[in-house]
Structure 1
Amino acid sequence: MSLALSLTRYRRLIMLVMIIALVLIAVEMTGLREQLSVSFLRENLEANPVTGMVIFVLVFVVGNLIQLPGWIFLVAAILALGTVMGGVVTYIAAVTSCLVTFALVRGLGGNALREIKSPLAQKILARLDTHPVRSVTVMRMLFQTMPALNYTLALSGVPLRPYVIGTLLGLPFPITLYCLFFDRILLLLPIG
């Protein structure tokens, strides 16, 4: 690998880190982080389901970029829309968030993980190359929309189509389990 290619790779990764840091700083400085609460999301979903859903999806995307756990969004959606519709809206927001993160990270960082010379990394990437849809599906079932997974998959060089298919197939199961779990928990809590 040439020195110029290596420097370009590092510049892309540095730019990616800088953009994510800027998003995090913007969210902190604007006070949006304090607004990212179950009650805020619930109020928006209840007030107007259409604009509430758009806000919900946008906040989910930003939240995922700044490392907020997805269960916050799921609880808000269940409280506002019920278990089934809350799960559906969360699924749509989760898929959208994964795709936006993939596009942003891949666009800025390329497939930087392919440059790692570790035998373990090469073995993992080879397995991902052999069974990309199955690998993404299993990872989504285990780690859902975890930002670290989104970043890793985007930088791994996995093609967009297997990424999308694996994401679409892997998210329903854990979201359904979380919906059932939080539905049961919320039945026990005195929430209005």
Structure 2
Amino acid sequence: MALPIAMTRYRRLILLALLLLTVLLTVELTGLREQFSLPALRALLEANLAVGLLLFVLAFVIGNLIQLPGWPFLAAAILALGTVVGGLVTYMAACVSCLVTFQVVKGLGGSALRDIDKPLAKKILSRLDRHPVRSVVLLRLLFQTMPALNYTLALSGVKRRDYLLGTLLGLPLPLLVYCFFFDRIARVLQLV
């Protein structure tokens, strides 16, 4: 006996919520949460660059999954590696993080937003369908790596290729602005 489509959708969303709750609880109960602080991320990158970079990307992915903003990662990378290298490392880590989050959320939640039967939702999704890459670029310019944006786009049914291309094109400008901002703050506070 096949399940009704709505039941399947709700099961997928419940499974997604359970997975994310499990990740969040694991991070909290194991003490990993402290590793997402600016000093801990900076120390991670300064201790051993090769291993530090891999762990930095992993931390960014987990942080994005549990709804942490991206700015502490960028600030830590700039403080540890300098503005240019820190910015490039953050760009790479942000793109990987956004793509992993997209895959996990889409894999578990499917395109649940497509099932919303409201005129405003249908209008927004039709605009996304007409210009998916441009829409993702504009959303990245405004919201950068915001975890809620990653979840929403994953559940919207946007194609992975369009999501990735929009992310790759939309992140550099806001990250560049943040790089100069954090570099300036670090210089004023004499942290570098």
| Cα distance in 2, alignment partners of residues 103 and 64 from structure 1 | 12
Structure 2 counterpart of 1:151, one-letter code: Y
Q: CA deviation at 1:3?
A: 6.6
| Cα distance in 2, alignment partners of residues 3 and 41 from structure 1 | 45
Q: Normalised by the size of structure 1, how large is the TM-score? A: 0.97
| Cα distance in 2, alignment partners of residues 4 and 93 from structure 1 | 39
| Cα distance in 2, alignment partners of residues 112 and 42 from structure 1 | 38
Can you list the C-alpha shifts for 1:60-113, whole angstroms capped at 9, x where unaligned? 011111111111000100011000000000001100010000000000000000
1:1-192 alignment runs, 5 A limit: 4-191=4-191
Structure 1 counterpart of 2:124, one-letter code: I
SS at match of 2:4: helix
| Cα distance in 1, alignment partners of residues 124 and 94 from structure 2 | 25
Gaps of 5+ in 1: none
Q: CA deviation at 1:191?
A: 2.4
Contact conserved, 2:140 with 2:171, CA < 8 A, in 1? yes
Structure 2 counterpart of 1:44, one-letter code: L
Q: CA deviation at 1:190?
A: 3.3
Can you list the C-alpha shifts for 1:23-75, whole angstroms capped at 9, x where unaligned? 00000000000121111111121121111100100000111111111110001
SS at match of 1:190: coil
Aligned residues: 191
| Cα distance in 2, alignment partners of residues 73 and 160 from structure 1 | 24
| Cα distance in 1, alignment partners of residues 85 and 23 from structure 2 | 29
SS at match of 2:157: coil
Q: Normalised by the size of structure 2, how large is the TM-score? A: 0.97
SS at match of 1:68: coil
SS at match of 1:152: helix
Contact conserved, 2:70 with 2:145, CA < 8 A, in 1? yes
| Cα distance in 2, alignment partners of residues 103 and 60 from structure 1 | 15
| Cα distance in 2, alignment partners of residues 128 and 11 from structure 1 | 26
SS at match of 2:41: helix
| Cα distance in 2, alignment partners of residues 58 and 145 from structure 1 | 15
Question: Over aligned residue pairs, what C-alpha RMSD do you find?
Answer: 1.1
